[in-house]
Chain A
Amino acid sequence: MTTPRVISRDATSSELDSDYKWGFTIDIGSDLAPKGLSEEIVRLISAKKEEPEWMLEWRLKAFRQWLKLKEQPPKWANVEYPPIDYQDIYYYAAPKSDAPKSLDEVDPEILEAFEKLGIPLAERAKLAGVAVDAVVDSVSVATTYQDTLEKQGIIFCSMSEAVKKHPELVQKYLGSVVPYSDNFYATLNSAVFTDGSFAYIPKGVRCPIELMTYFRINQADSGQFERTLIIADEGSYVSYLEGCTAPARKTHQLHAAVVELVALDDAEIKYSTLQNWFPGDKDGNGGVYNFVTKRGKAAKNAKISWTQVETGSAITWKYPSVILEGDNSVGEFYSVALVNNHQQADTGTKMIHIGKNTRSTIVAKGISAGQGNATYRGLVKVLASADGAKNFTQCDSLLVGDKCGAHTVPYIEVKNPTAQMEHEASTSKVSDDQLFYCQQRGMSVEDAHFMIINGFCRGIFQELPFEFAMEASQLLKVSLEGAVG
C-alpha cells in the first residue's frame, strides 16, 4: 500500500489592499505582488524565490517573447470566452506561512469538497494543507517517505527548491520539452511560474511509491502558474498523480500550467491527472480557465503514458502530448472529459512519431451533459524518419440530454508509407430504453445515468491507480449532479 505524498499549492494570502492602483511601487518586503504583469513583477517573483541569475534571465526572455504575442492567445480552439485582461490578475501570492494546525482550522468548504470525493479523513487532513505543509516542513511526518525516496536517490521536491538545490538538472531540462516560446500560455507560464513540482528518478530505479501533487487555487483573482518537471533517467520508472480543486468563486480564474516529462532511454513515466477545478455555477458564472501545456519526450524504448479525468474548469484547453523521438518508444493518452452546465472542453493529444517503430495509443471519452460542449482535438503526426510507426485512436462521445454538444477533430499527417494508422470514433446517447432497463432492475434514473456513464469510462479508469480510480468515479458523480434525474 503506497500512500501518495502530497505537496500543497495553497496560495492563501493575507487580506488584499483594495485601494491598490495599477502603477504603484513594488514593495519587495511584502508577500503579495500587485495585480498585473510587468518586467518588475517577473523580477519580483524571481527575487522572492531567491533564484539564481540564469533563472531570472530565462524568465525575462519568456516575458519579452510574451510581450510580442500579447493579446494573441490561440483562437482555433472550439471554446468561447470574453478576452482576458492580463493586467487584472495577481501573478504572485505567497503561501501563508502558518499552515492550519488541525482540521478545525481548515475552510469547511474545502472539507466538504473532500467529503464529497470520499477521501478518508486522514487523507483529508493532508490534502487540506495540514499534513501537507507538515510533509514539507516537518521532519517527523515526512521522514518515512523521504527516507525511502532518498535511499534510492530519488528527488521529489518543489520547483523552487529544485532550482536552488539541483540547478544542473533544472538548467539542463527546463524548457527542453516545452520551450519558453512554445505558445501564448506556456510563454506566460515561463515568465511568471511561481512553483510546481520537480522529480528526478535516477538510472535503473523504480520509484517505490506513487508521487502525488495536489494543486489548489485559493486566492480570488489570482492566476495559477505552476511548472512541473519530471525526469526519468535511463531504465527508471515513476507513476505520478496530480489532483486539482479550487473553491467556488464568482469571477473566472486563470490557470496556465506547464508540465514537462523527460523519459530517457528505457524509462517509463505514467502521469495521471484528476482535474476538478471549479467549473463555474449552473449559469456559467465563474470557474477556472484551464489553459495548460503538457508534453513529454520519449527517448529510445521509453514509454510515456498520460491518463486524465477532466471534470472541472469552465474551459479546458489541454493537449498532453508525446514526442516519440527514440526508436521503439511508446506514447499513450487515456482521457475522460466531462462537461456539464456551461462548461467547455477542447482537449486531446498530439503524438509525434519521429523514431522507428514508435507506437501510440489514444483513447478519448467525452461526456457532454447540460449545455456543455466537448471537443476532442488530436494530432497524430508520422515523420518521414518513423519507419514502422503505429497508431491506434479511439474517440467516443456520450451525450446526456439534448442541449449539449460533442465534436471530434482528428488531424492525421503521415509522411512515411510504412506507418499503420487506425481510427475509430463513435457518438452515442444514453437512451431512454437503457434507463428504463436499469430502472426496472431497481435503480433510480440518476443512479442509472451514473452507472451507464461509469461503464462508458471503464477503459480509462482501468488505467488509473486503484485509489485514484475510485476517486475518479466519485468525481463523475459529483460533477453530474443536477444534470440527470
Chain B
Amino acid sequence: MATETKKSTPLLSIKGLTASAGDLKILKGIDLDIYPGEVHAIMGPNGSGKSTLTNVLAGRPDYTVTGGEVLFEGQSILGLEPEIRARMGLFLAFQYPLELPGVRAWQFLKAGVDAKRLHNGQEEMSAREFDQMLKAKVAEVQIDPELVRRAVNEGFSGGEKKRNEVLQMAVLDPKLALLDETDSGLDIDALRIVSDGVNLLRSPDKAVVLVTHYQRILNYISPNHVHVLYDGRIVRSGGPELAHELEEKGYDWIKDLVDATV
C-alpha cells in the first residue's frame, strides 16, 4: 500500500449526516472525511443505508436530509441542486443506470462536459475536440465503441450499463466519484473492465468512494480505507484487512458485534 499523504483539507467532509425517505430514518449520523488521493470502500448488508448515502451526497430528491453537514472542498453542498454538485466535480455511478430512449450517448456526454466547462468559466468544447477526447476515453476504458453510437443505455444489458457508467465517469473526469454497487451483477471480465476504469481515475488530487456488498471488487481496486455501514451508521473502519475479515466472517459478525454493544 502506498503511503498516505494527507492534505490538510478533506475533499469531502461528512459531519453528523442524518437523512430519511418519507417517514423512514435511514442515515442516523454519518461522519466521514475523504482526502484527495484516497479510495474508500463502504460495505454493509442490504438495507444498511449504503445507497442512500451516495444518493444523498449527489442530491437525489427522493431523500430528505434531516441534519448534519457535507462539505465539498470546504463548501457546503447540501443546499445545492444536483447539477451544481455534478458540475463541481461530484460523480455518481448509478446502481441502476437509466435508459434515455433516442438520446445519443455522444450528445448526452457532451451536454455534461459543456455544463461543467461553463460552470468553470470555460467555453464549450468544440465538436471535433470532444470527438477526439471521447474516442480516447472509449479506448482507455476498453468499452465497445458501438455503445457510444447507441442511445443512452437503451436496450443495454446490465453489464453494458455499468460499463457505460465507467465511460461517463472517465469522460466527465470528476474530483470525487461515488460508485453505487457498480460491481453487482457483473461477470469477471466486466468486473475487471470496471475496476480498470476506476483505477485509471485514481490520482493524488481525486478520490473514489466504492459502495459494495461484496469483497470481490476489492481484489482489483485496493482501498485505503474500508468502512462498515450498519443501520445507518458507520460501525467499523479499518484498512483493506477489514474487507477480508468481513469476507471470512460475513455480515452476521457485524450484526452480532453491534447488537452486543447495544
Contact = CB atoms under 8 A, between A and B. Distances in A.
A442 B100 contact: no
B172 A452 contact: no
Given A440-B92, A442-B172, A451-B107, A457 B102 contact: yes
A441 B172 contact: yes
A427 interface: no
B89 to A, nearest CB: 10
A208 interface: no
A441 B86 contact: yes
A465 B151 CA distance: 21
B185 interface: no
Nearest to B153: A437
Contact of B112 (A431, A433, A443, A452): A443
Nearest to B91: A440
Contacts of A440: 58-59, 82-83, 86, 91-92, 94
Interface in B12-41: none
B97 to A, nearest CB: 7
A431 B62 CA distance: 12
B102 A459 contact: yes
Given A437-B94, A440-B58, A442-B111, A454 B102 contact: yes
A14 interface: no
Contacts of B119: 442
Residue of A437, A445, A458 with most partner-chain B CB within 10 A: A437
A456 interface: yes
Given A439-B81, A455-B103, A455-B151, A433 B108 contact: no
Residue of B59, B97, B108 with most partner-chain A CB within 10 A: B108
Interface residues of B, number: 33
A223 B119 CA distance: 48
A447 interface: yes
B82 A452 contact: no
Contacts of A438: 100, 108, 111
A137 B256 CA distance: 91
B236 interface: no
Contacts of A441: 86, 108-109, 111-112, 115, 168, 172
Nearest to A433: B98
A384 B113 CA distance: 57
Contact of A444 (B83, B107, B116): B83
B172 A455 contact: no
A53 interface: no
B61 A432 contact: yes
A434 interface: yes
Size range of the chain A interface in the assembly = 20 to 34
Residue of B86, B111, B151, B168 with most partner-chain A CB within 10 A: B111
B250 interface: no
Contact of A436 (B61, B151, B168): B61
B60 interface: yes
B87 interface: yes
A444 B80 CA distance: 12
Interface string B34-58: 0000000000000000000000001
B101 interface: yes
Contacts of A458: 102-104, 151
Nearest to B107: A451
B135 to A, nearest CB: 19
B138 to A, nearest CB: 17
A442 B102 contact: no
Given A451-B107, A455-B151, A439 B83 contact: yes
A117 B129 CA distance: 27
B40 to A, nearest CB: 19
Contact of B108 (A432, A451, A457, A459): A451
Interface of B: 58-62, 81-83, 86-87, 91-92, 94, 97-98, 100-104, 107-109, 111-113, 115-116, 119, 151-152, 168, 172
14 contacts: A432-B61, A436-B61, A439-B59, A440-B58, A441-B86, A441-B112, A442-B111, A442-B113, A442-B116, A444-B81, A444-B83, A445-B83, A451-B107, A454-B103
* Interface pairs A-B: 8 shortest CB-CB: A455-B102, A455-B103, A442-B115, A458-B102, A441-B112, A439-B82, A437-B98, A442-B112
